[in-house]
Amino acid sequence: MTELFHHFTKLSAKIVGSAGAFIFSIIVILVWVITGPIFHFSNTWQLIISTITNIVAFVVVFLIQNTQNRDTESINIKLDELIRVHKMAHQSIIDLDKLSDEQINALEKHYIELSKHKK
């Protein structure tokens, strides 16, 4: 199930982020605007675009979040590997994203102090 979801979100992100999707959305809006006089700019006419945009925005939020989570995790793994193989790197910062906010703040202060001494 999870693998199917990842495949779906990857494909969806590619489609939603394409030029074709942008052009399609512009066409939908133009059709909606052009049909305004036909429907006398009724509440139903307004409700149609409002409902469509709300549903699309709701779904896209989850799509973007899933894609961002996967990208962040991939970047963290790559950075951890670079830190691991570099002999001058501090191995303690591998898996930094798993530390608490207090631990991260303490490390940040430590590296700020180190940078002041290098100048």
What is the tens place of the pLDDT at every residue in 41-76?
Answer: 999 999 999 999 999 999 999 999 999 999 999 998
Helix (H, G, I), strand (E, B) or coil at 36: coil
Share above pLDDT 70 across residues of the chain, in percent, rounded to a whole number? 98
Share above pLDDT 90 across residues of the chain, in percent, rounded to a whole number? 52
Q: How far is CA 21 from CA 25, 60, 76, 80, 112, in A?
A: 6, 13, 30, 36, 45
Provide the whole-model pTM: 0.68
Q: Are 97 and 76 in contact (CB under 8 A)?
A: yes
Q: Of 118, 96, 117, whose CA–CA distance to 107 is shortest? A: 96
Per-residue pLDDT, averaged over 85-102, amounts to 84
Task: Return the higher-pLDDT residue of 117 and 11.
Answer: 11
What gap in Å lies between CA 100 and CA 112, rounded to an integer?
18
Provide the CA 10 distance to its chain's centre, in angstroms. 12
- Map out the domains of the chain as residue ranges: 2-85, 90-119
What gap in Å lies between CA 25 and CA 23, rounded to an integer?
5
Amino acid letter, 54: N
Across the chain, mean pLDDT equals 90
For tokens 């996967």, name the residue. 70
